[in-house]
Amino acid sequence: MPAPALSYMILTGALIVVILTVQVFYFHVVDNVWADMVRRELKELTDYVADTIANLYFLVNSTNTNPSLEKTLKLPLDVGGSSYSLQITQDAKNVKAWLQSKSWLTVSSWLPPGLKVNTGNPPPPKTETIQSSGRTVVAGCKRVSSNIFVWIACKG
């Protein structure tokens, strides 16, 4: 009679191990799905900003004058429940976005070639990195002689 009791103990232990193992793998899959969803949202955001800057660049480049154009961006307050940052890289080749809480989760979108980042020369000083907030965000483009400068900045 002791044999069935031992087999029940082994089966019960095996079931407990299987249940705990499934939970660990389930949480890993859920985290990967969440990261993929956030990566897609950030990619849409960087594509939107890069397309806006490209449109401003083509407008500025199609005139004979030296205009300064700005466009208000409609950005979400957060992505995936976390705040984020947007940056035009120093070489003005792409727009990067990442989450504040998970800096390893980053995406980028390409900008047209030939742009420069306006960091204050020529004035007025602009920023190339912004953080998500409730403030109004603008993207801008300006031609100074043969150089075309781009920026993103918060207003107000």
Task: Note every long-range contact of 134-138, with CB atoms under 8 Å and residues 24 or more positions apart, other chains counting.
Answer: 134/77, 136/72, 137/72, 137/73, 137/75, 137/86, 138/70, 138/71, 138/72, 138/73
Contact (Cβ atoms closer than 8 angstroms) between residue 151 and residue 88:
yes
pLDDT confidence of residue 90: 82
Give bridge partners of residue 130 from the DSSP assignment: 86
Cα–Cα dist 45/74, whole Å: 10
pLDDT confidence of residue 43: 96
pLDDT confidence of residue 114: 85
Going residue by residue through the chain (156 aa), what tens digit of pLDDT does each one get? 555 677 788 888 999 999 999 888 888 899 899 999 999 999 999 999 999 999 999 999 888 888 889 999 999 999 988 899 999 988 888 999 999 988 899 999 999 988 888 765 555 555 678 888 878 999 999 888 888 889 898 886
Whose CA is closest to 92, among 79, 64, 111?
A: 111
Cα–Cα dist 88/95, whole Å: 5
Q: What phi, psi does 3 have (nearest 5°)?
A: -65, -45
